[in-house]
A and B are shown apart, each in its own frame.
Chain A
Amino acid sequence: MNLLAVVGSSRKGKATDTLVDKAIEGALSKNPELKVKKIYLSDYNINYCKNCLACRDSKTKEPIALCAIRDDMDILNKDILDCDFIILSTPLHNGGVTAMLMTFFERICWTLAKPEGRYLTFYGCPTSRTDKKRKVISIITNGSVPPIYRIICDDATKLINTVTRDILNGKSLGSLYAGAIENRGVEYYFKKAYKLGMKLT
């Protein structure tokens, strides 16, 4: 079983990163055989999606359509295909995910999904290209906004849940909103992150 942890923050060793570490610890405590790969998106050269839609319109039977851009996404695509568990983490920027994580999402969107889904009367929605099921948890950090205001300030969880369901063919097992970290310190959320990690396996 492979666990892929994606850190969408540029600050290594800081709040988001440490909470992801705790979640990984939690997952390993339940299943020590787990193969863990943690990636910092800031270490990879990922270009913006050019919206050429070559991937969306691809009729390939492979689990992943080929992107027209050649860059480090080629490596990350393999990691995503191999993984069974995913931890997605991001600090909140303007109430949403970071631009870095968004760049990553845009690039996997139509490579991993095909436009054959349907909502109400509307066709052409993304649905996963494979039947492989994945389990996903998400960790959101915020420096100033406390959890009580999460409902107003957190659009990131919604986006992550959509990506999980429609693109990664994943089931979201929970998310941790670590708010007001500047006041409370990140230690306050260690236990919650550990427990969330345990849920994953």
Chain B
Amino acid sequence: MNLLAVVSSLRKGKSTDKLVDKAIEGALSKNPDINVKKIYLSDYKIGYCKNCLTCRDSKTAEPYAICTIRDDMDILVKDIHDSDLLIWGTPIHMGYIPSILMTFIERFVWLFAKPEGKHLTLTNCPTPRSNKKRKSITIITNGIVPPIYRMFCDEATHIIKETVKETLNGDNLGSLYAGAIEKRGVECYLNKAYKLGMKLV
């Protein structure tokens, strides 16, 4: 079993990073044999998607299509492909996922999905290229907005959920919204993150 933890905060060792560590601990407590890889998106050079749609229109039978841009995504795509369990750690920026995670998601969406899905009468929606199932949890941090206002201020969970479902064939097992961290401190969420990690395995 491979666990891939994606940290999309640029602040290493801070809230998001700490909570992801706790979730990994929780997962390892249930199954110590898991292969864990934690990546900081800020350590990798990832270019913006140019919207050439070569990947979307690729007819490949492989589990993922090839992007026309050669950069560090080549490494990360392999990591995603190998993963069985996923942890997404992200702060909220303006109610959404930060641009660094958006860049990452844009780059792999049509690599792992093919445009053969359907919603209502709308065709060409993304659906996973491979049958490999994955499990995923999401950790969202927010400095000021407390959990009570989550429904107004958190589009991030929705974006990650949809992407995981339609692209990576992933099952969402839960999410933690760690709000108002500037006041409360990150410590009050450590236990919840640990428990969420245990759910993953």
Contact = CB atoms under 8 A, between A and B. Distances in A.
Note whether A and B form a binding pair.
yes
Interface string A42-85: 10000011110100000000000000000000000000000000
B192 interface: no
Contacts of B49: 10, 93, 98-99
Contact of A155 (B115, B119, B155): B155
A53 B118 CA distance: 42
Interface string B51-78: 1010000000000000000000000000
A49 B106 contact: no
Contact of A122 (B102, B120, B122, B149): B149
B124 A48 contact: no
Nearest to A143: B53
A99 B99 contact: yes
Interface residues of B, number: 37
B127 interface: no
Contacts of A91: 51
Contact of B99 (A10, A42, A102, A163): A102
B40 interface: no
Contact of B10 (A51, A98, A100): A51
Given A48-B10, A99-B99, A94 B163 contact: yes
Chain A, interface SS category: mixed
Interface stretch (A29-37, A103-111, A186-194): A103-111
Interface residues of A, number: 37
Interface string B1-45: 000000001110000000000000000000000000000001000
B95 A159 contact: yes
Contact of B144 (A49, A124, A146): A124
Contacts of A162: 94-95
A179 to B, nearest CB: 10
Interface string B93-137: 111101110110110010000010001101010000000000000
A2 B97 CA distance: 32
B99 A103 contact: yes
Interface in B123-171: 124, 143-146, 149, 152, 155, 159, 162-163
Contacts of B145: 122
Interface in A1-56: 9-11, 42, 48-51, 53
A174 interface: no
A109 B96 CA distance: 13
A122 B95 CA distance: 15
Given A102-B99, A106-B93, A42 B51 contact: no
Contacts of A53: 143
B42 A48 contact: yes
A148 to B, nearest CB: 9
Interface in A127-167: 143-146, 149, 152, 155, 159, 162-163
A105 B50 contact: no
A96 B96 contact: yes
Contacts of A159: 94-96
B51 A48 contact: no
Given A95-B162, A103-B103, 10 more contacts: A48-B10, A48-B99, A49-B93, A94-B159, A94-B163, A96-B159, A98-B48, A103-B99, A106-B93, A124-B144
